[in-house]
Amino acid sequence: MPSQPVITLIATDAEITACYPVMRELRPHLIAAEFVDRVRRQMASGYQLAAAWVGSEVVAVAGFRLSENLAWGRFLYVDDLVTRADQRSHGYGAALLAWLKAYAAAEGCAQLHLDSGTWRKDAHRFYEREGMRLSAFHFVWEVEPTP
């Protein structure tokens, strides 16, 4: 039986670096040399990282932020949620998702939200199995930045 993970908020550059190999499984465009700086820039506007550790190894990572809007009130939004491919089906993702839900409640949030790519059918089954429901479509428009 796998060990229960220890879930912590990430604070140091070394901890951020330890999350990179797992996060890269979800976000393969990320570059190792830029990862800490990118995370730190996002942290300046409220982004947080949480990691599930088994021993000294990160087995799952979540990037998230607390926010508030007129539609949902105060909520926790999950930007990134990934379990290392070789560690799936051990309950680590479920433990991290449950931790996020408890964190949201402790922070006064009424809801937890996340978007998931339409092609990620296994992830959708996981979210539904964990009690989440499909509630919206997310539309995107590519915009060319003006100099």
Specify whether the CB–CB gap between 72 and 113 falls below 8 A: yes
Does residue 63 lie in a domain region? yes
Tokens of residue 12, six digits: 């140091």
Summarised one tens digit per residue, pLDDT across range 51-98 is 999 999 999 999 999 999 999 999 999 999 999 999 999 999 999 999
Q: CA–CA separation, 2 vs 54, rounded Å?
A: 9
> 113 lies in a domain?
yes
Within a domain: 49: yes
Domain count, the chain: 1
Residue 122 domain-assigned?
yes
Q: Is 105 inside any structural domain?
A: yes
**Contact status, residue 69 vs residue 82, Cβ threshold 8 Å:** no
The pTM of the full predicted model, rounded to 2 decimals, is: 0.92
Going by the DSSP 8-state scheme, the letter that residue 142 receives in this structure is -
- The CATH number covering residue 29 comes to 3.40.630.30
Answer whether residue 23 shows pLDDT above 70: yes
